[in-house]
Amino acid sequence: MSWLDIFKDRRKARPWVTVVIPVFNGAEKLERSIQSVLKEPFDLWELWVIDGGSTDGTQDVLGKYEDAGVEWISEKDEGVYDAMNKGITRSAAPYLYFLGAGDTLRSGILAKAAAVAPRSAPGFVYGNVLMLDKNVVWDGEWTAEKFRVRTPCHQAIFYDRRIFDWHGGYDQRFKTLADYAMNIRCFGDKRVRKVYVDEIIADYEGAGYSASYRDEAFYEARPELLRKHLGLEAKAKKRKAEGI
């Protein structure tokens, strides 16, 4: 039986998660991300790669995997969150997961996440990632207070599709931290059940554009997002040593 026959047979059942990989000129590293998804049980996933009109041979890589069930588009976009939003609109599964080109899923993690994902209530299922550039595991179970300074990586999270129906897509005002803003909304939404899985979900490549770009629009908006969605008021500034 060919990959295509297996894929068509698997399609008789609705997959549990749509994996979305945004990419632009990532031919050298995209393949390992795709392969990490293909190793997972076929009935659990569908895979959309959203290419921003690459010119480095990315489409050639994607063409190799069409018979394995990889679905893709290639067209100009407005950045990574525009690509992720396109993936949301194309998803057919109840959960969504966003993997960066060059990142890889840990073996067996889809089954572990699906086993604990809420079915009736909308869920936000999350775990940890290994940040390869820093050799650090990020970052354990979350609390509202943690959002003052950081967020779970989107590579660590499985989002119920209904979250995006309620909150819309990623806010494209924020160039590198729109997922931070979305996660604040999710944790503040009492309709969403938060489930922590003490597992490494993915190996996160890191050291990309987001590591060097400071998203000033997000940092300006963060205090209001924290107040509105999590009830966190801005901390008073520390007084100077003189007591002023």
Check if the beta carbon of residue 156 is closer than 8 Å to that of residue 128: yes
Encoded tokens for 60: 């050639």
What DSSP string runs through 163-226?
HHHHH-S--TT-SS-HHHHHHHHHHH-TTSEEEEEEEEEEEE---SHHHH---HHHHHHHHHHH
Q: Which residues pair with 123 in a beta bridge?
A: 193
Residues 6+ apart with CB under 8 A from 167: 182, 185, 186, 189
Q: CA–CA distance from 74 to each of 48, 78, 172 (Å)?
A: 11, 13, 19
pLDDT on residue 243: 38
Looking at the domain assignment, is residue 240 inside a domain? Answer: no
Looking at the domain assignment, is residue 57 inside a domain? Answer: yes
DSSP assigned state of 13: S
Encoded amino acid at 43, one letter: D
Looking at the domain assignment, is residue 238 inside a domain? Answer: no
Looking at the domain assignment, is residue 241 inside a domain? Answer: no
Q: What is the pLDDT along the chain (244 residues), one digit of tens a residue?
A: 444 454 455 555 789 999 999 999 999 899 999 999 999 999 999 999 999 999 999 999 999 999 999 999 999 999 999 999 999 999 999 999 999 999 999 999 999 999 999 988 999 999 999 999 889 999 899 999 999 999 999 999 999 999 999 999 999 999 999 999 999 999 999 999 999 999 999 999 986 666 668 999 999 999 999 999 999 997 755 434 333 3
Hey, is 114 helix, strand or coil?
helix
Looking at the domain assignment, is residue 80 inside a domain? Answer: yes
Looking at the domain assignment, is residue 237 inside a domain? Answer: no
Q: In whole angstroms, give the CA distance from residue 5 to residue 162.
A: 31
pLDDT on residue 167: 96
- Alpha-carbon torsion angle 5, 8, 14, 15, nearest 10: 50
Looking at the domain assignment, is residue 128 inside a domain? Answer: yes
Encoded tokens for 59: 């489409």
Q: In whole angstroms, give the CA distance from residue 52 to residue 30.
A: 13
Q: Which residues pair with 6 in a beta bridge?
A: none
Q: Structure pTM? A: 0.90
pLDDT on residue 3: 41
Check if the beta carbon of residue 44 is closer than 8 Å to that of residue 11: no
Count up the domains in the chain and report the number: 1
Looking at the domain assignment, is residue 244 inside a domain? Answer: no
CATH of the domain at 50: 3.90.550.10
Structural domain boundaries, residue 193: 3-230
Q: How, if at all, do strands 123-131 and 136-138 pair?
A: antiparallel
Q: In whole angstroms, give the CA distance from residue 129 to residue 179.
A: 15
Q: In whole angstroms, give the CA distance from residue 35 to residue 33.
A: 5
Q: In whole angstroms, give the CA distance from residue 109 to residue 157.
A: 11
